[in-house]
């Protein structure tokens, strides 16, 4: 299975070596040599992982990562840099990076990390957006078409999971485990009640239903034509 990535690196020779190696490992790689170009590509394409050098012209990697997170992009980011101090690493994590690799590195290790990151979405995005739904994780607000949704803590958790996974189906078990976190699960009707409350906020005031029950599989948030 091909992994779709974005590499933002101003060292053209290093970038060419990485891309050639990735090609052998089943990693398809778009390339940008400046931070601003990389940001444009990251915002206009769907990637499974983004590799960012810190020292980039026009816009450094930390700035690119911070903008992506503030705009709700939850693609995992691997920061590449020659800086190896603790302060530099902390700055990268503060900007929203998910992993950190110091130059020089082995291409085999880099490839392993990219493939591991590509299997998940980042939890560091500050906003989630699915169609007309917008969730701001820092402000703890959610709205549809600009109308604020009044959510209980449990409904907030359900909506966050469904939005992160959209348009994929989320199983009943995954939703239950996220809410009750390994404790004794309540009667299945309890989850139904919470989902009903969530639907009252997300769907009832509007003409188009976004929360769908997928028989025998679970639930999904899907906008029309998804």
> What kind and span of H or E run contains 80?
strand 77-81
Residues 162 and 201 in one domain: yes
Q: Count how many Cα atoms sit within 13 Å of the Cα of residue 149 in the half-sphere of its side chain.
A: 28
The answer to whether the peptide bond before residue 148 is cis (omega within 30 degrees of 0) is: no
pLDDT at 51: 96
Buried b (16+ CB within 10 A) or exposed e, 72-102: bbbbbbbbbbeeeeeebbebbeebbbbbbbe
Q: Is the pLDDT of residue 1 over 80?
A: no
pLDDT at 144: 96
Question: pLDDT band for position 92 (50/70/90)?
Answer: confident
Is residue 162 situated within a structural domain?
A: yes
Backbone angles phi, psi at 13, to 5 degrees: -60, -45
pLDDT digits 0-9 by tens, 170-222: 999 889 888 877 556 566 678 888 999 999 999 999 999 999 999 989 999 99
Residues 89 and 174 in one domain: no
Residues 210 and 137 in one domain: yes
Residues 90 and 150 in one domain: no
- For residues 89 and 73, the model is more confident at 73
Count, residues in the chain: 226
3-state secondary structure of 96: coil
Taking the C-alpha atoms of residue 30 and residue 28, their distance in angstroms, rounded to an integer, is: 7
Strand 147-148 relative to strand 141-144: parallel, antiparallel, unpaired? antiparallel
Residues 12 and 109 in one domain: yes
The answer to whether the peptide bond before residue 167 is cis (omega within 30 degrees of 0) is: yes
pLDDT at 41: 95
Is residue 99 situated within a structural domain?
A: yes
Residues 148 and 173 in one domain: yes
Is residue 122 situated within a structural domain?
A: no
Overall number of domains in the chain: 2
pLDDT digits 0-9 by tens, 117-175: 887 766 566 788 899 999 988 788 999 999 999 998 889 999 999 998 888 899 998 89
Residues 102 and 131 in one domain: no
pLDDT at 150: 92
Question: How many CB atoms sit inside 10 A of residue 170's CB?
Answer: 20
Is residue 76 situated within a structural domain?
A: yes
pTM, entire model = 0.58
Is residue 226 situated within a structural domain?
A: no
pLDDT at 122: 60
pLDDT digits 0-9 by tens, 32-63: 999 999 999 999 998 989 999 998 988 999 99
Residues 85 and 103 in one domain: yes
Which residues make Cβ contacts (< 8 Å) with residue 154, sequence separation at least 6?
179, 194
> Which among 117, 150, 177 is the end of a domain?
117
Taking each helix axis from N to C end, the angle separating 188-202 and 172-180, rounded to the nearest 10 degrees, works out to 90
Residues 83 and 113 in one domain: yes
> Which among 62, 87, 117 is the end of a domain?
117
Which residues make Cβ contacts (< 8 Å) with residue 106, sequence separation at least 6?
none
Average pLDDT over residues 86-107: 83
CB 18 within 8 A of CB 29: yes
Strand partners, 50: 6, 77
Residues 11 and 95 in one domain: yes
- For residues 122 and 109, the model is more confident at 109
Domain housing 169: 127-221
């Amino acid at each position: 299975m091909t992994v779709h990535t974005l590499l933002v690196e101003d060292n053209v020779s290093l970038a060419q070596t990485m891309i050639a190696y990735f090609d052998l490992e089943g990693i398809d790689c778009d390339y940008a040599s400046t931070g601003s170009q990389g940001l444009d590509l990251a915002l206009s394409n769907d990637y499974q992982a983004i590799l960012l050098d810190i020292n980039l012209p026009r816009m450094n990697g930390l700035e690119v990562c911070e903008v992506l997170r503030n705009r709700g992009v939850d693609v995992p980011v691997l920061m590449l840099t020659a800086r190896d101090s603790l302060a530099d690493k902390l700055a990268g994590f503060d900007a929203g990076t998910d992993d950190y690799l110091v130059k020089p590195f082995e291409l085999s290790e880099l490839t392993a990390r990219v493939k591991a990151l590509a299997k998940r979405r980042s939890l560091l995005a500050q906003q989630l957006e699915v169609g007309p739904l917008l969730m701001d994780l820092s402000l703890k607000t959610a709205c549809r078409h600009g109308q604020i949704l009044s959510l209980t803590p449990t409904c907030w958790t359900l909506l966050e999971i469904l939005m992160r996974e959209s348009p994929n189906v989320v199983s009943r078990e995954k939703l239950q485990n996220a809410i009750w976190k390994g404790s004794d699960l309540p009667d299945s009707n309890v989850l139904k009640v919470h989902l009903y409350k969530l639907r009252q906020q997300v769907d009832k005031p509007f003409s188009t239903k976004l929360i769908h029950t997928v028989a025998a599989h679970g639930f999904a948030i899907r906008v029309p034509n998804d």
